């Protein structure tokens, strides 16, 4: 429904902690037409330059809350509002090399009235500038 | 045309989802636009445009009524969802479902709405138990009939049985006019081709759907194996099969059947995918539907519900306002307003 808007390139950059590059981040939006509680967010599959990021290396920040992906299914109250951009942070010491990267994002939505839910996907070529 | 009727026009703000999602229009911008387009009634999906729903802050309620007054609009309907799978490892109990919908009823009343579009997977006995609350807050619970279901489908028939038993104006249907898709939306077939579907398959889907020869398994909730086989036989990939299934999950029901169920129909979604410059809808023959509503004495709202953005947004700018404007011009003509 909103597949082409799922990856928010403006938020794509390496992240630093205490002067050291600890990983990178990318902005993401859900492919659904309403806001949902976090427990309805299914599998998130992210890859950069064809390499899939292990789930336990990612966390997501939405509405002021930062959670490991494994925590999402335990959150039946906190919401991800429609159209809001979340920040997905990937733990990767050294981050990504400056230059072009192909980012792919697939998102499963566990929507009760759609048998087995549905997937959205986006793919964008983005730049790391630092 | 000046047949007497008491049908009212409205719009579901769902129709503006593209602009709202992209933050090109705020909720107030959208409501202001409905005034410019001369659309009296407002329907909203709270989960879409009310931050924090189902907890509606008091200052939002105040703002909402302020906008209704400022722009001279009438709140009509909220669309609810029942996320019965939101708790890990279990589904909601009946009592939890009832509590969830009770909250929607109170919220609808706070927003001045008199109808709730009930999502189509709520059981009749749950709705029946909610009747006293619906009555207390003067909010109709109108379960949505959405393609590929119609009045004669299994759940709908069980609902009709309950409606006849309970005899309450607060338990009824919303009908989505997407049940009358006579021609497959070309915006969807064109999108499939842009997404890599073989052109011959897309053309086949349109021709077969429009001529009523598309293979169908006619079983709700079951994959259409016959169509899957046909697409594979034509050299389609698994992506093509998926698109073909999603894109043809439509029906072309008989509008005349609405007459029998008109007493149970309180709300209508005026679904559309592509309004043409001549103020007709490419897929849905409104000129064969509105006269039946008039004939049957339908007296609720028809709310424009634009759902074309998702098919064109990859390649074209979306102008929801213009699409809604055209839809309303068509409704006015068919309702004899101009």
Say if the Cβ atoms of A82 and B47 lie within 8 Å: yes
Do A113 and B121 make contact, defined as CB atoms within 8 angstroms? yes
Q: Which of A35, A37, A113 sits opposite B120 (nearest CB)?
A: A113
Average pLDDT, chain B: 95
Subunit contact B49:A82, Cβ cutoff 8 A: yes
Give the per-residue pLDDT at B43. Answer: 98
Q: What is the tens place of the pLDDT at every residue in B124-141? A: 999 999 999 999 999 999
Check CB contact under 8 Å for B47 and A110: no
Predicted confidence at residue B220, as pLDDT, reads: 60
B51 CB within 8 Å of a chain A CB: yes
CA A35 to chain B, closest CA, distance in angstroms equals 5
Pick from B274, B312, B305: nearest CA to B76: B305
How would DSSP label each residue in B2-47?
Answer: ------EEEEEGGGGHHHHHTTSS-HHHHHHHHHHTT--EEEE-HH
- What are the chain B neighbours of A81 within 8 Å (beta carbons)? 51
Neighbours of A71 (CB within 10 A): 14
Is the predicted pLDDT of residue B221 greater than 80, yes or no?
no
B310 closest CB neighbour out of A1, A35, A82: A1
Task: Find chain B residues with C-beta within 8 A of A74's C-beta.
Answer: 88
Between A5, A29, A74, which is nearest B88 by CB? A74
Residue A36 burial by Cβ neighbours in a 10 Å radius (0-12, 13-18, 19+): buried
Q: How far apart are CA B26 and CA B16, in angstroms?
A: 10
Separation of alpha carbons B202 and B191, rounded Å? 9
Q: What is the mean pLDDT of residues B150-162?
A: 97
What's the CA gap between A96 and B198, in Å, rounded? 37
B52 and A37 within 8 Å at the Cβ level: the answer is: no
Q: Tell me what the mean pLDDT of segment B207-223 comes to.
A: 80
- Which candidate from B14, B20, B83 shows the least CB-CB separation from A112? B83
Give the span between the Cα atoms of B240 and B250, in whole angstroms: 17
Cβ of A40 within 8 Å of Cβ of B86? The answer is: yes
Of B23, B84, B313, the CB nearest to A83: B23
d(CA A81, CA A29): 9
Number of domains in chain A: 1
Q: For residue A4, which residues of chain B lie inside 8 Å, CB to CB?
A: 313-314
8 Å CB contact between B47 and B81: yes
DSSP string for residues in A31-49: SSSS-EEGGGEEEEEEEET
Distance CA B260, CA B57 (A): 42
CA distance B189 to chain A (A): 15
Task: For this complex, say whether ipTM is above 0.90.
Answer: yes
Residue range B259-285: mean pLDDT, rounded: 98
Contact between chains at A82 and B48 (C-beta distance less than 8 A): yes
Domains of chain B plus CATH, in order, are: 8-181+251-334 (3.20.20.150), 186-247 (no CATH)
Interface touch B81/A113, C-beta < 8 Å: yes
Q: Torsion angle of alpha carbons A108, B272, B48, B12, nearest 10°?
A: -160
Confidence of residue B2 (pLDDT cuts 50, 70, 90): low
Interface A-B: count of C-beta contacts within 8 A: 64
A82 contacts on B by Cβ (under 8 Å): 17, 20-21, 47-49
pLDDT(B222) > 80:
no
Instruction: Give the pLDDT mean for B275-301.
Output: 98
* pTM assigned to the model: 0.95
Determine contact: B17 vs chain A, CB below 8 A: yes
Average pLDDT on B65-69 reads 98
**For A2-40, what is each residue's pLDDT tens digit?**
999 999 999 999 999 999 999 999 999 999 999 999 999
Strand A51-52, strand A41-48: pairing: antiparallel
Who has greater pLDDT, B222 or B101? B101
What's A121's domain CATH number? 2.60.40
Residues of chain B contacting A39 with CB distance shorter than 8 Å: 86-88
Report the 10 Å Cβ neighbour count for A102: 13
Specify the pLDDT at position A88. 98
Helix, strand, coil % over all residues of chain B, rounded to 5: 50, 15, 40
Q: What is the per-residue pLDDT for B224?
A: 86
Chain segment A31-73, per-residue pLDDT in tens: 999 999 999 999 999 999 999 999 999 999 998 899 999 999 9
- pLDDT score recorded for residue B1: 47
Domain that holds residue A98: 3-128
């Amino acid at each position: 429904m909103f597949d082409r808007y799922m990856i928010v390139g403006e938020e794509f950059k390496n992240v630093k902690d205490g002067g050291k590059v600890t990983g990178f981040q990318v902005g993401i939006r859900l492919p659904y037409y309403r806001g949902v509680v976090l427990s309805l967010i299914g599998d998130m599959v992210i890859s950069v330059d064809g390499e899939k990021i292990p789930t336990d290396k990612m966390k997501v920040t939405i509405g002021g809350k930062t959670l490991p992906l494994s925590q999402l299914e335990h959150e039946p109250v906190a919401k991800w509002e429609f159209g809001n951009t979340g920040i997905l942070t990937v733990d990767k010491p050294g981050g990504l090399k400056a230059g072009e990267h192909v980012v792919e994002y697939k998102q499963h939505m566990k929507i009760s009235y759609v048998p087995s839910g549905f997937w959205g996907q986006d793919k964008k070529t983005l730049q790391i500038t630092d | 045309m000046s047949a007497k009727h008491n049908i009212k026009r409205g719009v579901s703000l769902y129709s503006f989802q593209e602009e709202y999602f992209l933050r090109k229009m705020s909720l107030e911008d959208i409501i202001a636009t409905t005034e410019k387009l001369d659309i009296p009634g407002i329907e909203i999906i709270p989960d879409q445009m009310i931050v924090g729903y189902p907890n509606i802050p008091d200052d939002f309620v105040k703002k909402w009524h302020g906008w209704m007054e400022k722009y001279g609009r009438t709140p009509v309907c909220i669309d609810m969802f029942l996320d019965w799978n939101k708790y890990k490892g279990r589904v909601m109990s009946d009592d939890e479902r009832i509590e969830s919908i009770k909250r929607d009823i109170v919220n609808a009343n706070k927003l001045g709405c008199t109808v709730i579009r009930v999502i189509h997977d709520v059981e009749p006995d749950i709705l029946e138990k909610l009747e006293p609350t619906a009555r207390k807050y003067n909010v109709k619970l109108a379960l949505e009939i959405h393609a590929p279901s119609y009045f004669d489908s299994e759940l709908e028939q069980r609902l009709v049985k309950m409606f006849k038993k309970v005899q309450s104006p607060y338990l009824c249907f919303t009908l989505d006019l997407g049940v009358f898709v006579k021609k497959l939306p070309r915006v969807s077939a064109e999108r499939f081709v842009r997404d890599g579907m073989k052109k011959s398959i897309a053309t086949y889907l349109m021709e077969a759907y429009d001529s009523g020869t598309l293979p169908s398994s006619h079983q709700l909730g079951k994959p259409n194996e016959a169509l899957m086989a046909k697409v594979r036989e034509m050299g389609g990939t698994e992506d093509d099969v998926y698109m073909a299934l999603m894109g043809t999950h439509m029906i072309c029901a008989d509008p005349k059947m609405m007459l029998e169920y008109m007493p149970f129909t309180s709300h209508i979604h005026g679904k559309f995918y592509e309004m043409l410059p001549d103020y007709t809808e490419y897929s849905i023959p409104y000129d064969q539907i509105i006269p039946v509503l008039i004939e049957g004495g339908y007296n609720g709202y028809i709310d424009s519900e634009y759902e074309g953005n998702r098919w064109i947004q990859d390649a074209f700018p979306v102008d929801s306002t213009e699409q809604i404007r055209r839809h309303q011009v068509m409704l006015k003509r068919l309702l004899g307003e101009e």
